[in-house]
Structure 1
Amino acid sequence: MKIVVIGCTHAGTAFTKTVKELYPDVEVKIFERNDTVSFLSCGIALHIHGVVEDVNKLFYASADTLRQLGADPYMRTEVTAVDLDSKKIKYRKLDTGEEGEESFDKIMITTGSWPVIPNVPGVDLEGIKLSKNFYHAKEIKEASKNAKNIVIVGAGLIGVELAEAFRANGKEVTLIDLENRILAKYLDKEFSDEVEDLFVQNGIKLALGERVLEFSGNGKVEKVVTDKNEYPADLVILATGFRPVTEMFKGQLEMLPNGAIIVDSSMRTSKKDVFAAGDCAAVYFTPAGRYEYIPLATNAVRMGTIAAINLFEDRIKYQGTQGTSGVKLFGYNIAATGITENWAKSLKLEVDNVTITESTRPEFMPVYKPVTLKIVYDKKSHIILGAQLISEEDVTEAINTLSIVISKKMTLEELAFSDFFFQPYFNKPWNFVNTTALAGLKKYI
């Protein structure tokens, strides 16, 4: 049995490790166009900030560790064509130009994603960087040393983390987004307003609700022109989202309109013996009850592992995702799971919500902080669909609890009286998660 793996970041690494652990006699050939595997791009902002000094520590596996497991990685090798019917791939070694062909019995597609690059004049100027892989991390770190004015285009998770990191290094930072709020995909307005206030208080310039029209400069970027203003820039980071890298599979596999490969709960695609996982694939988004494109490392490692377990027979089903995420910004811990109220309304879902601000510990304790939690739920059934929280105290693990609550389709009634422990060092007799659900339930009793 020979398996070809195309791409080896998170899903590919998880798949390979699990296959070689469960089925050591299976031949695994990996084709990776880079010379590294398993880079945690979520750590780029930590490296820029100085929290992680050595960027090489953002790897958790290497080609050598995969070889030691018995896999055969072809590094710096690009797959140029795939015929899923004849079960053959063509490849080219990037360093030598040598071309070859490889057959397979089964194939694992983990081609990942690539940053969305806006189609505007000047986007190819020197000083405009992407934030995705190991090489980008090194380039950004080096370019930022002598930069004074840094513009970040895109106010999602990557954009806001980089903005804070650059500001901590004393840079003048401008954050631009077409949306009129930051983190609009993850937070409702009352939460994003609070985060925006933090950014303004810490000297970051927000240019929200603005469309980039041009990157201007003489060979090197000097300013960013939007439909409302112009901003000086020695360095620009594009953080406008990601797209799945699946062009070579179009016409061969079922996909979402954006090219994300549709897989079933076993990670099988629409074609026999073809698996897909990670950023190249769609995921079943539990709160909305449909497939969405949610590129997260957490989704990738789960999907890659499940695909390996199901290599010969369906043994474990993927439970779907709630798109759970968290971020720390200027001392505040922010986390979200499931669907926001704003997103739910755009999908024509009938929802309601409840928000409370509670102390993390009893007020007789020497240290306690406020935590604000919002729960979004179906108005008729009271099934919980989403949650967001913010606090200076790190209580973000509560969002993991709420992620499970959503996946199991629990109601306000069930959550309000769920059993959580009490100890004054950690929480109150009524945990704030219980309290929020109880506050929502009181609207109906």
Structure 2
Amino acid sequence: MRVVIIGSGAAGLTTASTIRKYNKDIEIVVITKEREIAYSPCAIPYVIEGTIKSFDDIVMHTPADYKKERNIDIITETAVVDVDSKNNKIKCIDKNGNEFGMDYDYLVLATGAEPFIPPIEGKDLKGVFKVRSIEDGRNILKYIEEEKCNKAVVVGAGAIGLEMAYGLKCRGLDVLVVEMAPQVLPRFLDPDMAERVQKYLEKEGIKIILSKPLEKIIGEEKVEAVCVGDQVYEADMVIMATGVRPNIELAKKAGCKIGKFAIEVNEKMQTSIPNIYAVGDCVEVVDFITGEKTLSPFGTTAVRQGKVAGKNIAGIDAKFYPVLNSAVSKIGELEIGGTGLTAFSANLKRIPIVIGRAKGLTRARYYPGGKEIEIKMIFSENGTVFGCQIVGGERVAERIDAMSIAIFKKVNAEEIANMEFCYAPPVSMVNEPLSLAAEDALKKLH
């Protein structure tokens, strides 16, 4: 039996490794457009800022490693251009333009997502970059050095955009962030929590323009300036961190059902065609709280989906659960996290909520090095926890993880307020800020 996997990101490679874990005999072939595999795109901004020394450091395995250690064949720099699902065949073109076909018993679409670049004037000028692959990262650093760049404009104030902005600032560039939404990090923070992030970035010397789109990029052959509203700002380079769109073209060619946003799959990660699975950024998922279809373009989601698809292909029953879209980011000395529903989303959907807030420290007051942490918790009108946002100096990720479990298990405010948390002066306060936020909500619930 042969399984062909299209795409070598976290979802595709996890699927391959999971199949091999449970079945030593299945032939596994991974086909990817990229030259390098098994690297973390999320690490690119941290190489830009210099915390990670080299892009080579974020490549964890080579195709040869997969062949030697797991007997998985990986074909690089090759595009799959067509899928014939009736005859279980794919058509491929390699980097030299050679065309070849391949049969499959199972096909896994791990085609990911493509950067969305708005159709604005000047988007094709030299010095305009996207941030999706390790090659993009290398090209950005090379351009900074070769063109001796001094001024950068980052379009988009999501996590990648802000991480890139800080990274470029660390490289010595003047940085301007342009965001058409009225706040930074609109996907997982409410405006009041986002304001703290914005103030930190501005304190670090990064300029931010909100509620205005990038009108055009100005230049003859390369970037010279940008137009935002009626203002022109000098620029040597532009980073387009304007989000991604699911890559669903092969799924359409195969005849797979496309949902509201992306490829439709069941809880086993099967598409509408039983022997074709889909995983990662190219599929749509179910929101745990609202039950609505949504996207979940996170590495953690991709890995979980890959494990589910891999197990099912190997004959082991597994299912993928609805998502909370838990997210965390570190920008300079600030950690930012969110999970579940925001107050903004709840109000948009007319879901009645109660909010609990708390501020605290990450260590005992008398212990050196403690950092401020601010928590905003969202509860239903019955007291069930729906969401949590945290901005602080450290230890945000583990609190967001704890709240993800609490939301998934439908824990209420009283239970969180009385939950047992561990304490030691170097790592926590005796009054856990999560409990304090739940206590604040309880006053409003009773």
Q: Secondary structure at the match of 2:71?
A: coil
Tell me, in whole angstroms, the C-alpha distance in 2 between the residues paired with 1:418 and 1:255.
43
Determine if contact 1:357/1:370 at 8 Å carries over to the other structure: yes
* 2:435 corresponds to 1:441: no
What is the root-mean-square deviation of aligned Cα atoms in Å? 1.6
User: Match for residue 290 of structure 2?
Assistant: 288
Aligned to 2:135: 135
Partner SS for 2:441 = helix
CA distance in 1, matches of 2:307, 2:230: 47
Q: How is 1:99-114 mapped onto 2 (pairs within 5 angstroms)?
A: 99-114=99-114
- Report the AA paired with residue 254 of structure 1: K
The partner residue of 2:198 within 196, 202, 205 is: 196
Q: After TM superposition, give the deviation of residue 367 of structure 1 in Å.
A: 4.4
Aligned residue number for residue 354 of structure 2: 352
Deviation of 1:126 after TM superposition, in Å, equals 0.5
Q: Is the CA contact 2:127–2:238 (under 8 Å) kept in the aligned structure 1?
A: yes
Instruction: For residues 124-153 of structure 1, give each alpha carbon's deviation from its aligned partner in whole angstroms, at most 9, with x where no partner exists.
Output: 000001111011010011112311110011
Alignment equivalent of 2:257, drawn from 235, 243, 254 = 254
Query: What one-letter code is carried by the residue in structure 1 that aligns with 2:440?
Result: A
Give percent identity, aligned residues only.
28
1:232-252 per-position Cα deviation (integer Å, ceiling 9, x unaligned): 110101000011111122272
Deviations 1:403-433 (A, max 9, x none): 1111222221222222222333322333221
1:126 counterpart = 2:126: yes
Determine the C-alpha separation between the residues in 2 that align with 1:256 and 1:164.
36
Q: What's 2:363 paired with?
A: 361
Aligned partners of 2:408, 2:119: CA distance in 1, in Å?
38
Contact 1:327 1:333 in 2 (8 A): yes
Q: 2:218 aligns with which of 204, 216, 219?
A: 216
CA distance in 2, matches of 1:312, 1:366: 52
**Matching residue of 1:244:** 246
Superposed CA offset, 1:310-331 (max 9, x none): 1154522222322111122231
SS of match in other structure, 1:294: coil
TM-score, normalised to structure 1, is 0.95
CA distance in 2, matches of 1:360, 1:5: 44
Partner of 2:274: 272
Task: List per-residue Cα deviations over 1:350-385 (Å, max 9, x = no partner).
Answer: 222111112333334444333111111212x32211
2:428 counterpart residue number? 427
Alignment of 1:290-305 (within 5 A): 290-305=292-307
AA in 1 matched with 2:439: L
Tell me if the contact between 1:287 and 1:386 (Cα under 8 Å) persists in the aligned partners: no
Distance 1:248 1:147, change over 3 A: same
Distance 1:18 1:330 in 2: 35
Shift of 1:399: 0.7
Is 1:60 aligned with 2:60?
Answer: yes
Aligned runs of 1:28-107 on 2, under 5 Å? 28-68=28-68, 69-95=70-96, 97-107=97-107
Q: Deviations over 1:33-88 (max 9, x none)?
A: 11121221111111111111110111222211221211222211110101223211
Residue 290 of structure 1: CA displacement?
2.2
Q: Give the Cα separation in 1 of the matches to 2:169 and 2:427.
A: 32
Shift of 1:396: 2.9
What's 1:14 paired with?
14
- Supply the distance in 2 between the matched residues of 1:330 and 1:39 (Cα, whole angstroms): 22
The SS at the match of 1:253 is: coil
Query: Is 1:393–2:384 an aligned residue pair?
Result: no
After superposition, the Cα gap between the structure-2 partners of 1:246 and 1:395, relative to the gap in structure 1 and judged at 3 Å, is: closer
What is the distance in 2 between the residues matched to 1:383 and 1:160? Answer: 32
4+ residue runs of structure 1 moved beyond 4 angstroms?
A: none
Corresponding residue SS for 1:250: helix
Q: 1: distance between equivalents of 2:17 and 2:240?
A: 33
Distance in 1, matches of 2:86 and 2:198, equals 51
